[in-house]
Amino acid sequence: QVQLVESGGGLVQAGDSLRLSCAPSRRTFDNYAMGWFRQAPGKEREIVAAINWIGSHTHYADSVKGRFTISRDMSTSTLYLQMHSLKSEDTAVYYCAQALQGGILTSSDGYRYWGQGTQVTVSS
């Protein structure tokens, strides 16, 4: 069983930046695609960004394009989500997830391991 641990969430003001990190309990996600998802109160979970196993391909939700960047550090097996120009509508619990394949995956189907989530709150 792989555990994913997110960190970096917090309370910020609109326009600020945050960087989320995700690290596995054991080094197993190097060959698998990863993703960041978020769920706001009363809303469905949605994909924010995804990256393939080697980091050569990325995907972003339209709502975050140009503001968020997903990346991975293979040397430390850490996944990142750099968030700039945060808006109140970005407020949500953010989850990282590991897929069961190396190719990029833009749907929550096929992601097997999930973190506990980290809260991001953006005040306007």
Q: Give the tens place of pLDDT for each residue, 70-98.
A: 999 988 889 999 999 999 999 999 999 99
Q: What is the pLDDT of residue 28?
A: 66
d(C-alpha 7, C-alpha 23), whole Å: 9
Q: Kindly provide the residue ranges of all beta strands, DSSP E only, lying in the chain, ordered along the sequence.
A: 4-7, 10-13, 18-24, 34-39, 46-51, 58-60, 68-73, 78-83, 92-99, 111-114, 118-123
d(C-alpha 28, C-alpha 77), whole Å: 8
pLDDT higher at 76 or 56? 56
Of 24, 26, 72, the closest CA to residue 49 belongs to 72
Token pair of 106 as six digits: 């833009």
Q: What is the pLDDT of residue 25?
A: 80
What integer best gives the mean pLDDT of the chain? Answer: 94
In this structure, are residues 9 and 94 in contact, taking their beta carbons and an 8 Å threshold? Answer: yes
| 101-124: average pLDDT | 94
Residue 50 has pLDDT above 70, yes or no: yes
The structure tokens 């700039």 sit at: 84
DSSP 3-state assignment of 34? Answer: strand
pLDDT higher at 16 or 30? 16
Q: What is the pLDDT of residue 26?
A: 74
Q: What is the pLDDT of residue 29?
A: 62
